[in-house]
Structure 1
């Protein structure tokens, strides 16, 4: 997920056919690379497949090194979340961290609070309550665009830590949005699949016209 800004699995997304050996080989190549891996863009098939569940394809050292590379890639982008498919690896891993400074009014309206770094292995989420929130959302794999997505404003997430320990937590507001966005990637879903189509705009247009606390003005003007 871009800084400007489940178990939810697309029914249409085919399962990845990558073997454990192929996953391990690709992860080792990513870690050994002299540069950070490129973030793949919409249209790449890895973004449209259901990632393989992590079940020991990487040893502890390689997993830790891969997560470190993912975190550095996320920071460099810059972004607040990155899923393994976004660097071409169909494995159910994601890293999240939101420490970017935000306008106080916008942060309050969007319930955006700092999210300390967390690495999630095999994450899933379920909505908590009936609350929903609509905001513009971007993606590092859909470069140059943003659109409004209506999502649950509270979710319960479950995942494993890199050491295998079970984890569970409730996330609210913008943190919940990040969790949903990155977990959706692991099911072959892009935020565009859930977006208000008429809200789609180039980042330049968003910055010039619609960067308010809420998307209400954009909704009236763009008709969504």
Structure 2
């Protein structure tokens, strides 16, 4: 009677005869097996070029805000938000085209700036807040230009003009109406996130000559041997 030896056992025998480690073999063999791509909501932040970032997001029906599906989305967003240490994150950035974003500006974020910069940019601590179906009203049309970055445009920043003050209306994660008057840095964060929900990125309104690789000096110091991670 003939016994068939499994392909994996044959490979293990071959690896042993050629002194290939099990780890090397496992890595090679797993590369042969096609894994289905992940589906959103992702546990990573998608990058510029992904079509989802260019779609105007849909409103969440008010009666579904407290549904298990939307609450699950918010849970995933909070996890990604914490992992990437964000100040703002929109649902489209994890692959879901719905009008939901989270924002926070905490003490650690504030410490990254000196006192003069905090004052000039009107920075204040703001607790983590989920905003659903936001509507934005400009309350001060003065344009202020500061440098912005985005986790969906990893490795770059640029100068972007924004309105100085806005009024934000929407719903929180419990389906309750919220209204926030913001100026300075928080107003900028709100406008940045609203852009995401409208299929826009800061690259659409930036001063193009100021677009800068965030690590250009390190690239030179290390002769170009630098990698930018796209997950955390």
TM-score by length of 2: 0.70
2:48 equivalent among 14, 33, 42? 42
Distance in 2 (CA, whole Å) between partners of 1:206 and 1:198 is 18
Distance in 1 (CA, whole Å) between partners of 2:198 and 2:217 is 28
SS of 2:101's partner is: strand
- The alpha-carbon distance between structure 1 residues 58 and 162, as it changes in their structure 2 partners (threshold 3 A), is closer
Aligned residues: 176
Does residue 95 of structure 2 align to residue 88 of structure 1? yes
Q: Counterparts in 2 of 1:51-130, with a 5 A limit?
A: 51-55=57-61, 56=63, 59-99=66-106, 100=109, 101-102=111-112, 103-130=114-141
The answer on whether the counterparts of 1:126 and 1:157 sit within 8 Å (CA) in structure 2 is: yes
Distance in 1 (CA, whole Å) between partners of 2:210 and 2:216 is 11
Deviation at 1:163, TM superposition (A): 2.2
Pairwise CA RMSD of aligned residues? 2.1
1:193 equivalent among 204, 207, 211? 204
Stretch deviating more after TM superposition (174-183 or 161-170): 161-170
Larger relative contact order (CA 8 Å, sep ≥ 6): 1
Gap runs ≥5 in structure 2: 1-38, 219-232
Deviation at 1:140, TM superposition (A): 0.6
Q: Counterparts in 2 of 1:129-144, with a 5 A limit?
A: 129-144=140-155
- The alpha-carbon distance between structure 1 residues 188 and 87, as it changes in their structure 2 partners (threshold 3 A), is same
Gap runs ≥5 in structure 1: 1-25, 31-35, 208-224
Deviation at 1:60, TM superposition (A): 2.7
TM-score by length of 1: 0.73
SS of 2:124's partner is: coil
Larger Rg: 2
Q: Paired residue for 1:180? A: 191
Deviation at 1:57, TM superposition (A): 5.2
